[in-house]
Amino acid sequence: MVRIRLARVGSIRQPSYRVVVSDQRSPRNGRFIEIVGNYNPRTDPETVVIDRERVLYWLERGAQPSEAVARLLEQTSVMAIRRGETTLEEVLGAETAQA
């Protein structure tokens, strides 16, 4: 089964994470299929960068997000797009209006 999960990178006591698509049998920081984003909990506010199109691509093909990644996808409204509550264009338009 393909999972979308976090892979830890960074130094000792300074974690940051990559959001990766990988086989669930692979180790946490091991082999992966694709990097689809990153997450840094040490910044204020936390930095979350997700390639929405690629995540939606993998979700359509049956990839299952981990619990932590599911929370990040809710924050970035990817799950709302997947459920059909909004469209990618609406989300991108709202972000450009805020900037």
DSSP of the chain: -EEEEEEEEEETTEEEEEEEEEETTS-TTS--SEEEEEEETTSSSPEEEE-HHHHHHHHHTT-EE-HHHHHHHHHTTHHHHHHTSS-HHHHHHHHHHH-
Q: Which fold has domain 2-98?
A: S16 Ribosomal Protein; Chain: A; (3.30.1320)
Cβ proximity of 51 and 39 under 8 Å: no
Instruction: Spell out, as residue ranges, where the chain has pLDDT lower than 50.
Output: none
pLDDT at position 99: 62
The per-residue pLDDT for 98 is 72
